[in-house]
A and B are shown apart, each in its own frame.
Chain A
Amino acid sequence: MNIATRLGAPAWRWLAVIVIAVAVGQFTQRGLSSYGNFVAGTIAVAAIAAVGLNLLVGNAGLVSLATPAFMAIGAYGAGIVLQHSPLGITGAVLIPIAIATVVGGVVGLLALRLRGFYLGLATLGLLEATQYVLQQGGSLVGSGYGFPMPAVGSITAAQWSGIAASVLVVVVAIAASIRRSAVGRGLALLRQHETVAGCAGMNVVRLKVGVFAVSAGLGALAGVLYGFVQGAVSPDQFNLTLAVSQLAYIVFGGLGTVAGAVIGSIVLLVLPEVFHGLGQNEGILNAAVLLGVLILAPQGMFPLVDKYARRLFGRFRRREPTRAVAVTAPVGAPTTPSTGTPIRFNDVTVRYGGVVAVNAFSATVRRGTVHGLIGPNGAGKSSAVGALFGLVRLAGGEIEVDGRTVQTSGRRNPPWTVAAAGIGRTFQTPHAGEGLTALEAVQNGVFRGVPHGLVRAGLRTSAVLAGEVEARDRALTALDLVRFPVSAATPVTELTLGELRRVELARVLAGDPDVIVLDEPTSGMELADADALFELLNGLAHDGGRSVLVVEHNVKLIFGYSDDVTVMNLGEVIASGTPADIRADELVRGAYLGAR
């Protein structure tokens, strides 16, 4: 029997990773001078933490200055476990990582309220608190001095450097797996627009807390190794300078790329050694190099190297992705058709402060129909849709999806629980996810349908691989359905607005929702495209049995393709019925159509 078949693809992959890890570790331990070995160990440790931080900052867009705190938990924790418990090296590695993961998750809760620079500043609080404990924590933390790391068996400092290098290889493989998995793509969308990610069915709370926890765990792992490589721990090793240096490594190397975090750590830590060897002032030169790279290649070293490598090695050009299984049928009927009322707005009122945006709004979307929602700017259409997805709290009334109440004035459910009821939506401004290809962006629609846990993604289990195949097939089918005109491998940054709208619609379709909500889907589209889009919506509704609610400015399209129309003005329904009814309505003519 073929050994590859027996082990399965993930096992092969991990076998390869382990072989490389051992090779790199052995080289670090034996192939370098003893000082070179120390520097390599230091770099490996820094890179492990940087890879973890990059997951947080580069991929999820959450800025943190707390990395040294997690490293301190790792380094001090390992030493304390070895000194004060019989648990040995296993406990010394696992216990601090577990603690850091939990602490990281708690800090992640801050990220639910805070963003960007503010989040960074708040996480600095954890670092300051850690510093306080390390200085004032009494004899357990070496009375403010720190302590020499206890010996583990007969492992030498050189061997620890080798181990750190091996661990780095494994961590890189894990991070790369996460980056290329459902959760990696989800983080890219989360980074660009949290609401869009939530409405695509991603549990934003779990993602943020999870990525903080994993990043903290990697920081603690780096910390454990740091202690052993350095031979001793002391409080001021884990200071603000280290926090900002860590950020410098990933920005220098290329935000969001795994190789960037590694390259940034290597270059910024080897350079001072080289300058020192040349008898130059390493402080000045290192700062100058960092500044120079940020000015000349602001996206970082790796994307730059990547670009030139791509030019040099022409044969590594992108290949057109293909389906594993030839799926020809369009994503037609939903796989699990249901019978409840698709959407019912019942007396919905939305207020922003004192302003009433939506007032006692009622409307029902019938199964298998296209329902148009029109009205002038500020009529409350987007607010009503927002209320449906839980983006604003209802001041009164309730909203049902598929016969189940999803929003009431007492309880606001987050977007991902609404999406779980089998509903997907597009936005006025499309967001595809930073750094993704069109295909990857559309795969985000399948997020809920495939394994999307961080740990499984990191291990790239066979279930994850199967999910990848399914997500790719469904995404490619959805792209065909929206007649995506260019290669699915095109980076979303190179797409036109019209193409981005198609990507967004395809993302919704790939999720196979029962109910589809579109917010101004044709703005920025050419007329022929807009007609084709509405043809498609019609087909989805009338042939596929899905239900469509479309908010639209183009009245002609709405009247041409909708089964029902609701007209809003100043937050209230002024008319509803068939297109013919609305056309005849005097009130609508006066308030809305006439005005146009």
Chain B
Amino acid sequence: MAATFRLHRVLVALAALTAASTALVACGSGGGSAGGGGQSTIVIGNEADLTGNATVGVPGNYGVKFAVQQINAHGGIDGHQLDLKTEDSAGSAAGGAAAVRRLVEADGAQAIVATASSDAMVPAVPAAQSRSVPFVVSAGSDPVLVAPANTFVFMSPAVPVNIDVQEYLKFLAAHHFTNVALVATTAAFASAAVQDFKSGAPAAGVRLATVQTFGATDTDFSAQVKAVQDSHADAMFVIGDFTGNVMKAALNAGVKLPTLYDASATDPLLIKSIGAGSEGLISFQTQAKQLLDANTGAMATWKADFTKAFPNPPAGVPSQFSLQGYQTTFILAEAIKKALAKGGDVTGSSIRDAMQTISGFELGVTDFPYAAPIGYPVTFSARDHAGNATVTPVQVKNGVFVPIPESAGGQ
């Protein structure tokens, strides 16, 4: 057989391998030298879902860009300009892992803001953690991200889903929704939320009438709605349904239950998708003191400034995720500022240590006067890397979300 003329095949394969490894060395070292960072520049990375499922990533990336622009326009952080490197995590696990590797190892990012879905962050975190690069979660809410072992991972303004669920249950009990049908997507954070609901409900005095799940790409929700209807629940709680399909299906089937959505879907997009039927929908928000819909006060200023900075943003930008990306960037800036104040080189560890000393930081109130004061106070500690625990119930009135007054009932 071909034994005699096999040698050239080996040569060809070796040539291909050599070419490939040269390319690898080139693309690795090229980025590396650029990321070395001068005296006055600090490299910040943004892991963002720019393609694939880009619900979080595209608006989030705009929020981060906006914050970096503002900081640099005002002289940077104590004279250090920020250099923003964005890598696309493509809304997927593999994309997330590759993006964070690129940021850490090729782009030389000294800290990372993540505006990506949890699916794209969970497998990406080890790359940052193992290289001691702080990784600040802007939008995802998987509690595993801020597990004790992840000493370089922080979360704010997003709230870990287990804390969210406690607040949801408190709200349900306070408003006498004691027999609740849960409808959740199969995404990991939603499954975690379902587990937290199941374990926390009895103590809160809430009964789960039924638990239904759906796939991210489903379009037929009639089976879930039918099950909800059959369960004789007094309210329906939907988790992880950004386009409002579950509520639409319920309305179509004539199911007139009070409907609640989790914090991840609290965005004008939800109202736009459901249309007039969304009136009365209850949801929760964690991202800002004011809602994106508000055209008053700090939010109005923020939106005006954003439009000045980005006159032609893509559809759906800015969204609540832009607000979150904006805040997370300033929180990280605060940590860098503290690290600089301590003297010495800014390293991943020094930023992490500084991060853990942030206490009661309020956007636009402390340290960064030009920032829009839209966020809740943020506090981290060495033990607790989730900076925010404020979950505010809101309700759709006249086509926009408005806060539900403390005293008033849900319906």
Interface residues of A (CB under 8 A from B): 24, 27-28, 31-40, 42-43, 135-136, 142-146, 148-149, 157, 180, 230-237, 239, 241-242, 259, 262-263, 266-267, 270, 273-274, 276-277, 283, 302, 305-306, 309-310, 313, 316-319, 321, 437, 439-440, 443, 468, 472
Contact = CB atoms under 8 A, between A and B. Distances in A.
A28 to B, nearest CB: 8
Given A232-B126, A310-B8, A321-B1, A273 B93 contact: no
A520 B31 CA distance: 67
Contact of A263 (B16, B28, B93, B118): B16
Contacts of B23: 270, 273-274
Contacts of B1: 180, 321, 437, 439-440, 443, 468, 472
Interface string B99-134: 001100110000000000011001111110010000
A274 B149 CA distance: 34
B72 interface: no
Contact of B21 (A40, A136, A239): A40
A468 B2 CA distance: 12
B309 interface: no
A146 B93 CA distance: 10
A266 B15 CA distance: 12
B24 A234 contact: no
A251 B149 CA distance: 42
Given A35-B101, A270-B20, 17 more contacts: A28-B21, A32-B28, A33-B24, A35-B28, A36-B24, A38-B98, A40-B21, A135-B188, A145-B122, A232-B97, A232-B124, A237-B123, A239-B92, A262-B16, A274-B23, A439-B1, A440-B1
Nearest to B91: A236
A316 B7 contact: yes
9 interchain residue pairs of minimum CB distance: A33-B28, A36-B28, A231-B126, A35-B105, A36-B24, A232-B123, A144-B188, A144-B191, A145-B188
A234 B123 contact: yes
B97 A27 contact: no
Given A32-B25, A274-B23, A146 B122 contact: yes
Contacts of A32: 21, 24-25, 28
Contacts of B13: 259, 262-263
A239 B216 CA distance: 14
Could you say which of B4, B119, B144, B188 has the most chain A C-beta atoms within 10 Å of its C-beta?
Answer: B188
Interface string B376-405: 000000000000000000000000000000
B97 A231 contact: yes
26 contacts: A32-B28, A33-B24, A33-B28, A35-B31, A35-B32, A36-B24, A36-B28, A144-B191, A144-B192, A145-B192, A146-B93, A146-B122, A149-B126, A157-B130, A180-B3, A236-B119, A259-B12, A259-B16, A262-B16, A274-B27, A302-B12, A306-B9, A309-B9, A309-B11, A316-B8, A318-B5
Contacts of A27: 21
A231 B130 contact: yes
B27 A273 contact: yes
Nearest to A39: B24
B12 A317 contact: no
A488 to B, nearest CB: 10
A472 to B, nearest CB: 7
B294 interface: no
B195 interface: yes
A136 B123 contact: no
Interface string B171-188: 000000000000000111
Contacts of A306: 8-9, 12
A537 to B, nearest CB: 29
A445 to B, nearest CB: 15
A345 B186 CA distance: 62
Contacts of A232: 97, 122-126
B313 interface: no
A306 B12 CA distance: 7
B27 A36 contact: yes
B101 A144 contact: no
Interface of B: 1-5, 7-9, 11-13, 16-17, 20-21, 23-32, 51, 92-94, 97-98, 101-102, 105-106, 118-119, 122-127, 130, 142, 144, 149, 186-188, 191-192, 195
Nearest to B2: A180
A230 B32 contact: no
Nearest to A24: B17
A562 to B, nearest CB: 37
Contact of B24 (A180, A230, A273, A313): A273
A319 B4 contact: yes
Contacts of A262: 13, 16
A234 B119 contact: yes
A145 B106 contact: no
A242 B90 CA distance: 14
A316 B186 contact: no
Contacts of B12: 259, 302, 305-306, 309
B17 A33 contact: no
B86 to A, nearest CB: 12
A381 B202 CA distance: 78
Given A234-B122, A317-B5, A143 B191 contact: yes
Contact of A34 (B2, B28, B188, B191): B28
A142 B323 CA distance: 31
A313 B127 contact: no
A270 B21 CA distance: 9
B43 to A, nearest CB: 14
A230 B122 CA distance: 11
Contacts of B105: 33-35, 38
Given A33-B105, A35-B101, A270 B24 contact: yes
A144 B186 contact: yes
B29 A33 contact: yes
A277 B21 CA distance: 15
A442 to B, nearest CB: 11
A35 B4 CA distance: 39
A316 B51 CA distance: 47
A270 B101 CA distance: 15
Contact of B123 (A28, A233, A309): A233
A493 B24 CA distance: 38
Contacts of A316: 5, 7-8
Contacts of B98: 38, 42
Contacts of B16: 259, 262-263, 266-267, 305
Given A135-B186, A259-B13, A316-B8, A234 B93 contact: yes
B23 to A, nearest CB: 5
B26 A277 contact: yes
Contact of B106 (A31, A35, A241, A309): A35
Contacts of A237: 92-94, 97, 123
Nearest to B215: A135
Nearest to B3: A180
A443 B31 CA distance: 53
A468 B3 CA distance: 11
A173 to B, nearest CB: 11
Nearest to A468: B1
Contacts of A31: 21, 25
A259 B9 contact: yes
